[in-house]
Structure 1
Amino acid sequence: MSMKNILIEKEENVAIVTINRPTKLNALNKATIEELHHAFNELDNDKTIKAILVTGSGEKAFVAGADIAEFAHFSETEGKELAAKGQALLFDFVQNLGTPVIAAVNGFALGGGLELAMSCHFRIASTNAKMGLPEVTLGVIPGYGGTQRLAQLVGKGRAMELILTASMIDAETAKSYGLVNHVVTQEELLSFSKGIAIKIASNSSVAIAKAIASINANYTDGKNGYEVEISNFGACFATEDFKEGTTAFLEKRKANFPGN
């Protein structure tokens, strides 16, 4: 697939996906969502890639929302289809990806941009980052999982206030809320994020995928997270990574995980 709106770099078992629409503050349109789906799918199937960073081009925005011009005249049915397709193609897809995805939030993360960051497995922000879900100012609500994930991450009361007031918060406030894990300068953002990604990449990719699935199960209706954990724990014993990890531990050496 030809990529017009994103850039992909690979180094040290880490892929960096950059949303590259700087004149639109990296706003998400249909084409960008489709490109991101394709990129994440390809990277998840690339066994040399152990972690993925996603960020925005330039110094102003991670993703400053969705491309409003694309849906300003949609009907109710078209609106539902837009949300359903977007969630399936990108936001739910990223959340459930077996390869860990870290959002390096380098500026404004608003609307669909914050929803994308929240669908990642965790977030690191630059000091200039601003985050919010301002959809109610347009007469609509977050439609890419924002009402659900924000409440899961920061609690119901704070999510209610942020969504209903359409307020933006800065990076330090986001950290105090538990929305982001770390805050660093914009100059340090990618190198700091890469450092965490490389640390992840040194561990068993099979175990990491099982851990992601187990953690997500706690937030999925109809699933018992403890039962999923038990099942995935047992499944690890049948893997080559488990054999290598335990053998390396007993032999007092660094594990070299085969990834299966």
Structure 2
Amino acid sequence: MTGCVQRARRLGAAAMVAAACATLSAPVRAQPNADELAHRHFESGVAYLQESDYENALKAFEKSYQLSKRPEILLNLATVHERLGQLQLAVDALEEYLRKEPDGEHADTVRVRIANLQKNIAKRDAAKKSEPPPPPPPKKTTEKADGTEREPPAAKPDRTIPYVALGLGGLAAGGAVLTGILAKGEYDSAKDECDPHCQESDVSSGKSLAMVSTVLTGVAAVGVGVGVILLLTEKPTAEKPPSSAGVPHFDVALGPRGAAAAAAWKF
């Protein structure tokens, strides 16, 4: 029994040793170092640049430069900044390259690029300063038969309110005439029936109609008067000038064509 136990222990120990050896001999997957990651970002930036996806190309080249600090990547950053119209940032990247590699392989080409970019920046700034203000909207004129210009006719005033007032005055005047006729007939009829001993109740209907006629006459006078005054004093409505706030304005900045020729150097 003791021999079986000892044998089992020896087999267990051997199994543990074999497992340890297998673990040590298994290949360890190494994590990519900073230089390898930088190379991956660089290749991504080149691919984005070839597809004219400058925003993503800029991000990829920036990550590559942060990891490797290789001066050549600054040349790619300058190219992307130039494509985006960020000329001063392109100059900054090229000047940083010269500080790191003053005698490098691309130093002379970089100096030419800087000079061209600075000229374009100066031209762009000068164009912005000398840009004239937008012209005022053209004045509306009409041309006579002899070729001379004359002012367009003034806008007609809005006569809606005066016409409404005159209409109401006319209606009131018609009502006054009608009620006046009815009042006269009612009053005369009552007088014929009860004369000479007429009471107030006998002629009250005629008096009421006469009062209504008087009120309508006053309303008619006011309506016609207001309408006439408004017609005489109404001013033409001024036309609003066309607005130029929505007119777009564009600025175009051009860079040297040779700047993109060296977009991607070998990593």
If asked which structure has higher relative contact order (CA below 8 Å, sep 6+), I would say: 2
Fold match by TM threshold 0.5: no
- The structure that is strand-richer by fraction is 1
* Larger relative helix fraction: 2
Q: TM-score range by the shorter chain?
A: under 0.3
